[in-house]
Structure 1
Amino acid sequence: MDIQAALTLLENLMVEQEREDLNSLQREIICKCWSGQTYDDMEIQGYASGYVKKYAAPNLWKLLSEVTGEAVSKKNLKIVLIELQKRRSSCPEETPEGKEVPKLMNNTHFCWADAPDVLVFFGREKELATLEQMIKQGYRLVTLLGMRGIGKTALAVHLCTRFFGEFEYVIWRSLDRQLPPPLTELLDDLLQVLSDKLQIDNSINIGDRLTLLIKYLSQHRCLLILDAYENLFSSGKLAGHYLKDYENYGELLRRVGAAKHNSCLVLTSWEKPREVVFLERDTQGIVSVKLEALETAAAKEIFKQHNLADEDKWEELIDRYEGNPLALKIVAAMLQKDYAGSVSNFLEEFTLFLGDIQYLLYQQFNRLSEVEQKIMYCLAISQTPVTRHQIRDTIQPQVLSSEMLDALESLRRRSLLETVKAESKALFTLQPVVRKYLNLQFRGR
């Protein structure tokens, strides 16, 4: 659905309900929200951004909520209209009275106030098709894995917009906070939503709270998203070690993954939880999906949005950044600002530009154990993929084989390690952006 189709849908709804047409300001706000602009970014001739944000936009969302029969906001505008278009396409447009608009969904309850705005989404059709099939097959626990910026959260948001008609409840909870909520707090929150304000006795232990949660997940079909699950893990240790007092989140995954119910818990994480590793081996309905590079066609859409020049050079730039969507957006914005959009001029001057990407990599690298950091530096200075034995011989002081295996497996779970097979051997290497970052860090030591 493009913006013109969205405006046409709204115009038809206004006519059906005998309301006045949308004015030019309202149409402009809708177009700019559709393209992903914030209120502060909106430049509408004759109107200050403060007026748009405080008065015009709230009045518009109120109007559209009345017209569509759903609570419309800047955050869910695209979701509401896409699903409404689907339902109007599959249902008669008019009742015998000729006025009633089909409802958006069958009593689906949305609880995702802290979900991010993702109004512009590129590609990932293969991953979405895979997830759709899993949902239809009744998968209970799905983990979306990948490096920072690869698009896990955006994919999870789009998953909600595409398949929420399958669920009675769609609940989004972000763990991307300096201090994530204790499990008891999260469980009480979920139970209140699913039980229509059930008051939880503080004396009830976590096990009983989890039993209640499983009960409601069985009674209702729910899509529950826990975003940024990696924030529950500690730094300086191998992947999957929980912070102190957060270890009981592992029990949440074990119970939800092992029990029979009608719902689906989706995690997004840099790191693969150990519980997921064990559940995948022995339990059906549990799966991890690692996000790889964005498809070339979808990556090019990012460059089109930033009006970059030299389209014949775009693929080279995409390859250098391994198709990481966030990295491509950061570089594209820089190119537009400092190179007048010329990809050719940039490629002549730079091999790789990191900019704000360095901070993202710093966050991820800073979590590694000492052995993992040594392995990463070893791989960074090697120009070709190397074997495990070559890594061990390079690290000083040397580590035990068992420590090496544990660290390599941990780096895999963190999506930081690239593995290449050659002549029945496993060779290890890094993505170019990660290698560039580590070489800069190494020189700064």
Structure 2
Amino acid sequence: MHLLMGLLMNTEEALLFIEKLLAQQGYRLNDLERAIFRGAWQGKSYKEIHRNYNLQVSLDHAMRNVGPKLWKLLRKALDEPIRMKDLQGPILRAYAALAASPAVAAEIPPEVSPTMPDSLTSAPIVSWEMTPDVGIFCGRNPDLADLREHIDVGGRLIVILGMAGVGKTTLAIRLAQQVQDQFEVVIWRSLSVNRYESLAALTQDLLRVFGQLPDEPPMSSNYITNLWHYLSRYRCLIVLDGLEAVLQTSSDTGSFQKGCEPYGELFHRIGDTYHRSCLILTSRERPQELANMGRGEHAPVYIHPLDGLGEQAAREMLLSKYDLEGSEQAWSLFVRLYAGNPFALNIAASKIHDLYEGDIAQFLEVHAQETAIFGEIRSQLSQQFTRLSPKENVILTYLVKAGEPVRRNQILHNIAPRVSNEDLDQSLQSLMGRSLIQRNNGHYSLESFILEYAQELTNNQ
């Protein structure tokens, strides 16, 4: 009987059947899980599935995490042991048992095409308000794969952290576009553009989008409770771009501005409580509220530091927009001059194209004598430096004067005014969280173009 039913139930029919079973338990498969199920139903190994379906995660992650989680879900739904190599038997038996039961036979279409609930099969509700055009996307595929993997394994709070202009917004947009079909509601909001005066104002905006769902609206006077009503009942993806807009300036603690403290309460609830939604944040600074929340390779809270582009990716990005020429050495010096920062590289490349006939070496020769910090590059750095605390400024001034990488104890004993060990650690952690300093082999230093701007500020004091 199983052989005959196996011939009649193809891969997609089997997938639809188990999706209906899992939906009854409130779970929806993601694309990665569907790919593994399809391959396993056809008798393929993990290695064959990884190759044939072009999975966006490592083979090891698929074998150790995604697959075992899927078989555990099916074991619970079918109430019998499930093995990858013997997948068809338990599923066909479950189908046969349901089909033989008069009480539920009518629920299974004769074509074996069970459907998901309307809220799961229809296109997601999408609200992309003030979302910029990402344009060329280069060199970020490893970052994209890492972030998708964390969403696939149930990441609930993801923070993309990096300095101004490094490409956080572009990466977040591309990520949301790639995973949006896994969600029922997808919302993008820019905190720096919209300038919500409080979480209550943001929540009121989000609830207008959630109002499109076929659900009775919550009636609580607590706006976080009202928002949680939807985040816990539906699979929602919310992207908040530019979190630093609601963080305090002149502080190295990553604290929220007055009136914005409830953001911390929301983040804790999202990170610490089980649900199927996901909140993605982009920020130039690390919020203090996330410091003690559970993190790890596959933890529900994940902070993804974003560095500058590599030389090849930066070159590909710039040549898609500008007619530039230069030797391998010139390209390498140019990209390293701006630490691979896409925003700074684009501003400089535009100047090279317009004023230096596309000659990178000529630009480097001129700016070896003059500053390479100009125009919008200076404006971006000014915005970031304005947010520094007095202690952070003291540390940066010392790093500029030192002129070389220094150890922590050197900073502790030589900066003036002196600070405690605790204050020093807090400020160093904050500066690294802002991507303004780097640490290699226990030594702290500044990226070249940040060093140049900091020297300007020091000389003008």
With normalisation by structure 2, the TM-score equals: 0.69
In the other structure, the counterpart of 1:54 is none
CA distance in 2, matches of 1:274, 1:236: 14
What letter matches 1:343 in structure 2? I
Alpha-carbon offset, residue 372 of structure 1: 0.6
In the other structure, the counterpart of 2:74 is none
Alpha-carbon offset, residue 247 of structure 1: 0.8
What letter matches 1:418 in structure 2? Q
What letter matches 1:403 in structure 2? D
CA distance in 2, matches of 1:211, 1:350: 55
In the other structure, the counterpart of 2:279 is 265
Assess, with a 3 A threshold, how the Cα gap between structure 1 residues 363 and 178 changes in structure 2: closer, same or farther.
farther
SS at match of 1:172: strand
- Picking from 289, 310, 315, the partner of 1:300 is 315
Residue 376 of structure 2 is aligned to residue 376 of structure 1: no
What letter matches 1:363 in structure 2? Q
In the other structure, the counterpart of 1:174 is 190
CA distance in 2, matches of 1:222, 1:199: 16
Q: Deviations over 1:214-250 (max 9, x none)?
A: 2312322111000000111111111311111111110
Alpha-carbon offset, residue 211 of structure 1: 2.8
Alpha-carbon offset, residue 154 of structure 1: 0.6
Residue 373 of structure 2 is aligned to residue 354 of structure 1: yes
In the other structure, the counterpart of 1:184 is 200
Residue 181 of structure 2 is aligned to residue 161 of structure 1: no
Assess, with a 3 A threshold, how the Cα gap between structure 1 residues 328 and 165 changes in structure 2: closer, same or farther.
same
Contact residue 234 and residue 277 of structure 2 kept, 8 A: yes
In the other structure, the counterpart of 1:99 is none
Gaps of 5+ in 1: 1-104
Assess, with a 3 A threshold, how the Cα gap between structure 1 residues 380 and 177 changes in structure 2: closer, same or farther.
same
In the other structure, the counterpart of 1:290 is 305
Question: More deviation in 336-345 or 180-189?
Answer: 180-189
Residue 238 of structure 2 is aligned to residue 224 of structure 1: yes
In the other structure, the counterpart of 1:76 is none
CA distance in 2, matches of 1:183, 1:303: 38
Superposed, 1:42-121 pairs within 5 Å as 106-121=122-137
Residue 436 of structure 2 is aligned to residue 436 of structure 1: no
SS at match of 2:192: coil
Alpha-carbon offset, residue 178 of structure 1: 7.9
In the other structure, the counterpart of 2:105 is none
Residue 328 of structure 2 is aligned to residue 314 of structure 1: no
Contact residue 214 and residue 259 of structure 1 kept, 8 A: no
In the other structure, the counterpart of 1:239 is 253
Q: Deviations over 1:127-180 (max 9, x none)?
A: 011111111111000000000000000101111222212111110011004843
Residue 386 of structure 2 is aligned to residue 366 of structure 1: yes
Q: Deviations over 1:297-344 (max 9, x none)?
A: 220123312111125321221112111111110110011111111001
CA distance in 2, matches of 1:311, 1:106: 52
Q: Deviations over 1:82-120 (max 9, x none)?
A: xxxxxxxxxxxxxxxxxxxxxxx9411110121112122
Alpha-carbon offset, residue 199 of structure 1: 6.4
CA distance in 1, matches of 2:201, 2:188: 15
Alpha-carbon offset, residue 187 of structure 1: 1.5
- Picking from 327, 334, 338, the partner of 2:344 is 327
CA distance in 2, matches of 1:106, 1:367: 44
CA distance in 1, matches of 2:416, 2:332: 39
Alpha-carbon offset, residue 200 of structure 1: 6.9
Alpha-carbon offset, residue 265 of structure 1: 0.3
Gaps of 5+ in 2: 1-120
Contact residue 132 and residue 163 of structure 1 kept, 8 A: yes
SS at match of 1:344: helix
SS at match of 2:334: helix
In the other structure, the counterpart of 1:150 is 166
CA distance in 1, matches of 2:146, 2:179: 12
Question: More deviation in 155-164 or 138-147?
Answer: 155-164
In the other structure, the counterpart of 1:210 is 224
In the other structure, the counterpart of 2:410 is 390
Residue 140 of structure 2 is aligned to residue 124 of structure 1: yes
CA distance in 2, matches of 1:239, 1:297: 36
Contact residue 399 and residue 406 of structure 2 kept, 8 A: yes
Contact residue 192 and residue 199 of structure 1 kept, 8 A: no
What letter matches 1:286 in structure 2? V
In the other structure, the counterpart of 1:419 is 439
CA distance in 2, matches of 1:419, 1:155: 24
What letter matches 1:353 in structure 2? A
Contact residue 124 and residue 295 of structure 1 kept, 8 A: no
SS at match of 2:406: coil
CA distance in 2, matches of 1:236, 1:252: 24
- Picking from 276, 290, 297, the partner of 1:276 is 290
What letter matches 1:373 in structure 2? N
CA distance in 2, matches of 1:297, 1:168: 37
CA distance in 2, matches of 1:200, 1:307: 56
SS at match of 2:294: helix
Contact residue 224 and residue 266 of structure 2 kept, 8 A: yes
SS at match of 2:188: strand
In the other structure, the counterpart of 2:270 is 256
What letter matches 1:194 in structure 2? F
- How many residue pairs align between the two structures? 333
CA distance in 2, matches of 1:141, 1:349: 45
Question: More deviation in 119-128 or 173-182?
Answer: 173-182
Seq. identity, %: 35
Contact residue 195 and residue 216 of structure 1 kept, 8 A: no
CA distance in 1, matches of 2:274, 2:421: 40
What letter matches 2:372 in structure 1? F
SS at match of 1:354: coil
With normalisation by structure 1, the TM-score equals: 0.71
In the other structure, the counterpart of 2:362 is 345
What letter matches 2:444 in structure 1? F
